Chain A
């Protein structure tokens, strides 16, 4: 899932959000006045690449696993969040959406994270559906066609900048029931689709050094108004690129009873959903990160597929330390299969 946040809510309105909900990022707050996802809704592209202002929150998420011309491994993140502070649309400064961009670059030796924020309504940030274009300040994620088969992603910070060219000839992968993704047994859900098949070429500028890069990227799109149950505190989410060309998405939402879900994606984009009891996520080692313990090595199993691997992070300190903080970084895995991917952990 990728749910990542309502960081906004946390970063902009800590007291309000925390008072109302113990759940991570206020995602468990009830959504009066907002639309909620309903099963059976058909997602339509390119329309649904754009923003859904009748829902409280949504995000456009890209993580990339890259190999530099210098031989080193890199991870990159580009994310745009939208969060409506209250329902109802207004013009200009009366628009009640707040936008937040996160960008990060990870290598074995460092993890650099940048954040920028914007009010809606004045075109400092926004999303257009066709051709797809998401932007905040000078950070953009921009398709060259209506089908989003080719795109360009860039972000800039005083310490780093990157520009990546994305390509894919595979279809979008709908998560859950035709894009309706359940997050608890109590009905919390989101609309969720992914594009895990992007190939990437680009350049990274790091400490004044230009590095050519190649690799793979995974895009996630999700929108909802209340995607967590009030007792759910956070999640662990894996997106894995298998050496076989298959992709695997797994998540565990930590609540009174953990809620697990997975999707085994064939190289042609065909999906098979994995039930709760088919998945096992087991922390093997913890790292001290920003004054707390975070599980950074995992044993991941999918029993029905005979999948049994151990993951190791490229950099155990892949901590995105904003007002609302989370762990997001590249991982590699070995065992019954090998490959690489991204791990996201919230609520620690």
Chain B
């Protein structure tokens, strides 16, 4: 024990003498941990929110009954089931707008509410009577109240003009939700006598036969994981975040590896001395492991705190994108459990161990009496390059194999990951080849030395250069995708949003009244009802949208497949347009027939067109307005688009608002819709961009750490050159130039790699994740930008080590010859 302690102290003394080495090590480990655990925190936070939203009805493993074909069902079914002895409790969920926010309104029935649910306080406290007497009660979590800027006792008014009962904060309410009595929910949502689900109390279970006997085919038992649609819809979003987190961790790991590499090389003489003094190999291992543990705790701790800060900073953007994209409500306050903190530390520990692995094993296998060979790797240079090339080839083959098997998100990421790895491994080989060519073409001894020495240097810099390459390629790849998406999306929005005004009436009756009025207006060229119904196909939520025959659609509505005839067929036959993601999911093509679950009997429609529906997590079908109204009696008939002369938009909107007041739930013009839509995507990409930049910064640090390592070790190579008369300043300049050349090489390789990555993201990952494929765009101006960034990064990283070389004391250089190093 004492032996281990003293050994540990001796080993640790190294860090006191090399504070910069210590700093890069801690920084690298901390950054890697921070990026990884930050991303994990965001994911964990989101999952927790989904779970609490989903668990509200299925807590304790309770069965839920839902409409067999999606959507709502009549309250009569609830009464029928109760009267048949089934202990079910009704609920209605919907969205209401309070102030500037959408809230999830949940109506429950407190008298029959099953005890196993987390909402049980509603039934068991005095609130139970308060809900049903006087003004009633609404319930929301304290966080939701803060988000809505409301306090307890307030009576929020929905945009439809309905005033909810006074609010009370309860702990168990899911984020972004307000819970009210079922009767209040039906009124607020304007769904009289309608329910969205029945919760079966824990004492009984309902089998399919009983259900069919009582309700025919109207209801079905919801599968346990189905309740969590949100979790499934957002899976791909979180996988993207995780992939980014992993990449960032990897780059951070390179820094740690470089720092440890330096420390182990420098400590070899000390280790030899310790062993010669009689310290056992076991004590040495124990000390080194202890040292790792200390680093893990310190750097991991800092990293986890950093991760928390990163997550807290990005949470508003993540929450905004998730809400915009999926309607998912995230609790705005990070709450992380012990498991998250521990897993962050574990990740730091694993990273440290992995990074230190080769150094550790080298230290242990060190023959006690052998002469220290601080730069032993140099001699193994050739075999190193061969190994590197072999590994690169292996990676590229793996990428090709993964591509052939590619059918999902994970394999998609694997293709990209293996290709990146292969290219990164290839980088030192490629640079070595280039240097060899340079050497053979070079004239004059100094130039030849410049190239020859560069080849020696590559091995030490390879990890850092690989990190730089990965960061640059990711920048090009992700940047290309984001920019491509932005352009496609903007163009698509322009084509899709042709109507000038969009409004939603408060109730179907209001809708008819407003429609009547609009028909008499000179300024309004066309009134286009856009009614909506819900169903499920392949167990996926699908919206069915009705369209009226109009030039607005036939001339502008973007289609990927299906020609002019599509519009004629849509209105004259049982036909439907299908969104790209739904078509991919159902594996259907143009001309196929589709059975659409509808109330009553299924509706068979022919697919006459496929349209892009970027960013929509649900499936969508577009059908004729009249046919939709006939087939779906419960289609919500409150959405409309208006064609108005652009100059008259403001006037028409103002007039509608004064005339109809609360009868119009929402009214927006085209510009506003576009702004909201693009905002959602901008915020999604804010997160991506932030992670992207962080990765680049980390790779600069990796390069700096590696150069620092080398500047110490390379004295042996530089001293003779200095001795023959090349000045230190000149030598430093050459060093700088060489790093710039290496970085330029990395940047050049990063361009094709980045393009490949864009392609992988657009053609494989995006399709698997979201179901739609973006057109591929390339942006040469972006490459130029990345090239400059690469050179600046290298310059920033190399300037300090180069300056140190320029100012190094001649005695240090002389020591090389005195064999006193």
How far is the CB of A117 from the nearest CB of chain B, in Å?
5
Q: Which residues of A contact B128 (CB under 8 A)?
A: 12-13
Please tell me if the beta carbons of A124 and B183 are within 8 angstroms of each other in the complex: no
| B125 proximity list for chain A (CB < 8 A) | 15
Annotate B173-195 by CB proximity to A: 1 below 8 A, 0 otherwise.
00000000111101000001100
Q: Which residues of the partner chain B approach A122 to less than 8 Å between Cβ atoms?
A: 75, 78-79
Given known pairs A13-B126, A85-B132, the reply for A118 and B111 (CB within 8 Å) is: yes
Chain A residue with Cβ nearest B129: A13
Q: Is A123 an interface residue (CB 8 A)?
A: yes
A86-B134, A93-B183, A117-B112 are known; give 7 further A-B pairs, CB within 8 A. A12-B111, A13-B128, A15-B125, A16-B130, A92-B193, A123-B79, A135-B83
**A137 close to B132 (CB less than 8 A):** no
- Known interface pairs A138-B85, A156-B85, A158-B203; A98-B79 also in contact (CB < 8 Å): no
A93-B186, A158-B203 are known contacts. Are A118 and B133 too (CB-CB below 8 A)?
Answer: no
* Any B CB within 8 A of the CB of A94: yes
Q: Which of B124-163 contact A (CB under 8 A)?
A: 125-126, 128-130, 132-134
B290 in the interface (beta carbon within 8 A): no
Q: At the interface, yes or no: A322 with Cβ under 8 Å from chain B?
A: no
User: What is the chain A residue whose CB lies nearest that of B181?
Assistant: A93
B134, closest chain A residue (CB): A86
Roughly how many angstroms separate A270 CA and B133 CA in the complex, as a whole number?
44
Q: Using Cβ atoms and an 8 Å threshold, which residues of chain A touch B193?
A: 92
List 19 contacting pairs A-B, 8 Å CB cutoff, sorted by A. A12-B111, A13-B128, A13-B129, A16-B126, A16-B130, A92-B183, A93-B181, A93-B182, A93-B186, A96-B132, A118-B112, A119-B132, A122-B79, A124-B82, A135-B83, A137-B83, A138-B85, A156-B85, A158-B204
Q: Which residues of A contact B (CB under 8 A)?
A: 12-16, 85-86, 92-94, 96, 98, 116-119, 122-124, 135, 137-138, 156, 158
- Cα A118 to Cα B132 in complex, Å, equals 13
Q: What residues of chain B lie closer than 8 Å to A116, measured between beta carbons?
A: 87
Does B84 interact with chain A (Cβ within 8 Å)? yes
Measured CA separation A16–B75 after assembly (Å): 30
Docked pose: A158 CA to B86 CA in angstroms: 11
Determine how close the nearest CB of chain A comes to the CB of B283; give it in whole angstroms.
Answer: 65
Contact of A15 among B79, B126, B133, B184 (CB under 8 A): B126
Given the interface contacts A135-B83, A137-B82, does A14 sit within 8 Å of B186 by beta carbon? no
Bound: A14/B129 CA distance, A: 9
Which B residues lie within 8 Å of A98 (CB)? Answer: 111, 132
Nearest-neighbour CB distance to chain A for B184, whole angstroms, equals 8
Contact B133 A96 (CB under 8 A): yes
**Contact between chains at B126 and A119 (CB < 8 Å):** no
Taking the closest CB of chain B, its distance from the CB of A5, in whole angstroms, is 16
Nearest chain B CB to A249 CB, angstrom units: 32
Q: Once the chains are docked, how many angstroms separate the CA of A297 from the CA of B183?
A: 48
What are the residues of chain B within 8 A of A135 when measuring CB–CB? 83
A92–B83 Cα distance when bound, in Å, is 17
Closest chain-A Cβ to B135's Cβ sits at a distance in Å of 11
Q: Is the CB of A118 within 8 A of B82?
A: yes
Could you tell me if B83 and A124 are in contact, using CB atoms closer than 8 angstroms?
yes
Which chain A residues lie closer than 8 Å to B85 at the CB level? 137-138, 156
Flag if B183 contacts A94 (CB, 8 Å).
yes
Q: What separation, in Å, do the CA atoms of A124 and B88 have in the docked complex? A: 11
* Nearest 4 Cβ contacts at the A-B interface: A93-B183, A13-B129, A15-B126, A138-B85
Q: Which B residues are in CB contact (< 8 Å) with A85?
A: 129, 132-133
The CA of A123 and the CA of B132, in the complex, are separated in Å by 17
CA distance A119 to B90 in the complex (A): 11
Residues of A near B75 (CB, < 8 A) are: 122
Contact of A138 among B83, B111, B126, B186 (CB under 8 A): B83
Nearest residue (CB) in B for A18 is B126
Distance of B511 from chain A, by nearest CB (Å): 23
Bound complex: CA A116 to CA B132 (Å): 18
Q: With a CB–CB cut-off of 8 A, which chain A residues contact B112?
A: 117-119
A84 to chain B, nearest CB (A): 10
A residues within 8 A CB of B265? none
Q: How far is the CB of A4 from chain B (nearest CB, A)?
A: 19
Chain B residues within an 8 Å CB radius of A96: 132-133
Q: Is B109 an interface residue (CB 8 A)?
A: yes
Kindly report which residue of chain B lies nearest to residue A93, judged by CB atoms.
Answer: B183
The CA of A158 and the CA of B203, in the complex, are separated in Å by 8
Nearest chain B CB to A185 CB, angstrom units: 31
**Bound Cα distance A221, B128 (Å):** 28
Q: How far is the CA of A85 from the CA of B133 in the complex (A)?
A: 7
Complex interface: chain A residues within 8 A of B184 (CB):
93
**Least Cβ–Cβ distance between A113 and chain B, in angstroms:** 13
Task: Tell me the smallest distance from the CB of B195 to a CB of chain A, in Å.
Answer: 11
The residues of A that contact B111 with a CB separation of less than 8 Å are 12, 98, 117-119
Cα-based distance from A138 to B84 in the complex (angstroms): 5
Chain B nearest Cβ from A333, distance in angstroms:
37
Distance to closest chain B CB from A292 (angstroms): 22
The answer for the CA separation of A96 and B126 in the assembled complex, in Å, is 16
For the complex, give the distance between the alpha carbons of A117 and B114 in Å: 11
In whole angstroms, how far apart are the Cα atoms of A86 and B186 in the complex? 21
On chain B, the residues within 8 Å of A94 by CB distance are 183
Among residues of A, the one whose C-beta sits closest to the C-beta of B201 is A116
Chain A residues with Cβ below 8 Å from B78 are 122, 124
Query: Chain A residues near B192 (CB, 8 Å)?
Result: 92
Measured CB to CB, the nearest residue on chain B to A19 is: B126
B82, B109, B112, B192: residue with the most chain A Cβ atoms closer than 10 Å: B82
Q: A98-B111, A118-B112, A119-B112 are in contact. Are A12 and B79 (CB under 8 A)?
A: no
Chain B contacts of A93 at CB under 8 A? 109, 181-184, 186
A100 vs B821: C-alpha distance when bound (angstroms): 93
List chain A residues, Cβ under 8 A from B79: 122-124
> In the bound complex, what is the Cα–Cα distance between A25 and B306 (angstroms)?
58
Q: Which residues of B contact A138 (CB under 8 A)?
A: 82-85
Partner of A86, one of B82, B133, B181: B133
Give a binary string over B197-233; 1 marks a CB under 8 Å from any A CB, 0 the rest. Answer: 0000001100000000000000000000000000000
Residues of A within 8 A of B134 (CB): 86
Q: How far is the CA of A330 from the CA of B201 in the complex (A)?
A: 31
Residues from chain B with Cβ under 8 Å of A123 in the complex = 79
Q: How far is the CB of A9 from chain B (nearest CB, A)?
A: 8
Does the CB pair A119–B109 fall under 8 Å?
yes
Please, which residue of chain B has its CB at the minimum distance from the CB of A96? B132
Tell me, in angstroms, the Cα distance from A158 to B132 when the chains sit together.
30
Closest to A15 in B: B126
